[in-house]
Structure 1
């Protein structure tokens, strides 16, 4: 199970859509990103989003567009100069959001806290937390290091 699957993304969207009009504004996205420790300028986010509000489908597409598309098949692969370096930097930034004590590992407790901040945690997730880590914990130490986190993110979001 991925920390951010479609169900979770819909829950995030519903959380951000406070007035229930079916749209999330760029300002709402900025608040969410700031809340999880990612600072972005409004102009940059507007350019990335391409509009001032997103419906739920646009929100899912926006999220997916942030992830690397393609795999080793004949799928379309979007390449940008310096993409690998950008991806590595973005993954390290995301890792720091979860590695709350900055020890270089994500524990079950840290995962729970980060998911709570995103509004994705409920009591049913308690056992899933250990499972989420266990799926990608290649050395079976009960923690995710950066390389394991990176593998999880790249495998989870490939199409």
Structure 2
């Protein structure tokens, strides 16, 4: 099967969003996201399914913009993106937004960009802005993302306790950074 020419993602986006840099975690995460977007489980993600998923996350998009961005990633004759197409689209967007981010300072120190990314990611979880991620906050974010772990508070508390070094029942920024470094 002939692979269509992929055009780079040219939409102007200004974001400091955090992304995981671990290839194995990214692969699992992408598969899970693909499966969540594929609402009818036909192994294709259509523009309508992506639009619906983005609206669920509170991100309203113009369907014609979304269609024009995605159609070059869909193989002719397919109803939507296959998982492999989705991975290529994700890589394109990731390279555009975070291409320079993987540069590290000598000695393996956290770069200013990485610190900024971690701060932004922490803010996503710390919904009340108190400087801590509580089990309730983690449960809310996991629920919004469609993770089944969000349905049981005990599972969420176990996630918190696995990184809660000072055993206060919450994750502070330092613990969050250590956890993210360990994932990398």
2:7 maps to none
1:79 maps to 103
The equivalences for 1:80-119 within 5 A come to 84-119=111-146
Q: Are the aligned partners of 2:39 and 2:49 in contact in 1 as well (CA < 8 Å)? A: no
Corresponding residue pairs, total: 138
Q: Are the aligned partners of 2:140 and 2:150 in contact in 1 as well (CA < 8 Å)? A: no
The equivalences for 1:6-155 within 5 A come to 9-24=30-45, 51=73, 55-56=82-83, 62=90, 78-79=102-103, 84-122=111-149, 125-155=152-182
Aligned partners of 1:15 and 1:84: how far apart in 2?
A: 33
TM-score (norm 2): 0.53
C-alpha RMSD of the superposition: 4.3
Q: 1:31 to 1:140 in 2, by over 3 A?
A: farther
Q: Are the aligned partners of 2:150 and 2:156 in contact in 1 as well (CA < 8 Å)? A: no
Of structures 1 and 2, the one with the larger relative CO (CA 8 A, separation 6+) is 1
